[in-house]
Amino acid sequence: MTAFLFGVLSSLAASVIVLVLGLLRGSRPLWWLVALGSRCTGTGLGRVYRLQSAAEPDLARDLSRARWIKVLAGRGNVLTREAFSPVWSGVLPMDSVQVLLPDPHTGTGSWLERRSRDVGRFDAGFTPALLRSQIESNISYISRAARTQRNFELRGFDLPHTCRVIATDRVAYLTFYSSSEHGRNSPCLYARAPGLLYAVALQLFEAAWTGSSPVASAA
């Protein structure tokens, strides 16, 4: 049931991306039409980054203002980069920091294994064990870095690797993964609270959180 709900929510928000990017490829006034429609319909769409990596400066700013943070990621590299350094510094005490990463200990037939095969089709240097080892390294890093945050939880999930969600009490960043390229090359939606897309982002996170389990660092 969790996987079904996760798939439905992902498909809904991914459809919004396709529509918006189609409009953005047209004339500039269409983007203003999208922004106006967002305000009128309550979707909460603020802007679209053509590449996920382009959102990181704005992400760092929003994280520095957050009361709480929820992260659902397919690998977790962003958690080790500059955007999250203020979070791990201890300067910003949070009400809660919740992180969900794929469980690297799942076996044959897991969604992690399926994503590894997908990436291996377009990245010749990607071996079946590489994604697991990268996630394990990020878990080790995060487990140590997050000691500055009293209300921190790190859990593992085994669900379709279809999106990344980084949400705060004010905004959410949503990236939907393609089966033919790395997530960093995918478009990213910026959604304000309150709004439909913001609500979908939180629902995606909660769907993955349900049934997840604590993940311990090997280090």
pLDDT band at 26 (very low <50, low <70, confident <90, very high): very low
Cα of 135 vs its chain's centroid, Å? 14
Confidence of residue 23 (pLDDT cuts 50, 70, 90): very low
Distance between CA atoms of 44 and 198, rounded to whole angstroms?
7
Q: Residue 165 above 90 pLDDT?
A: yes
d(CA 103, CA 131): 11
Quick one: average pLDDT of 32-52? 71
What are the tokens at 212? 């997840």
Which has more confidence, 51 or 5? 51
* Domains (range + CATH), the chain: 2-214 (3.30.870.10)
Quick: pLDDT tens for 62-112: 999 999 999 999 999 999 999 999 899 888 889 999 999 999 998 888 989
More confident residue, 202 or 4: 202
Mean pLDDT of 157-184: 89
Position 154 scores a pLDDT of 96
Helices (H) and strands (E) in the chain, counts: 7, 8
Confidence of residue 171 (pLDDT cuts 50, 70, 90): very high
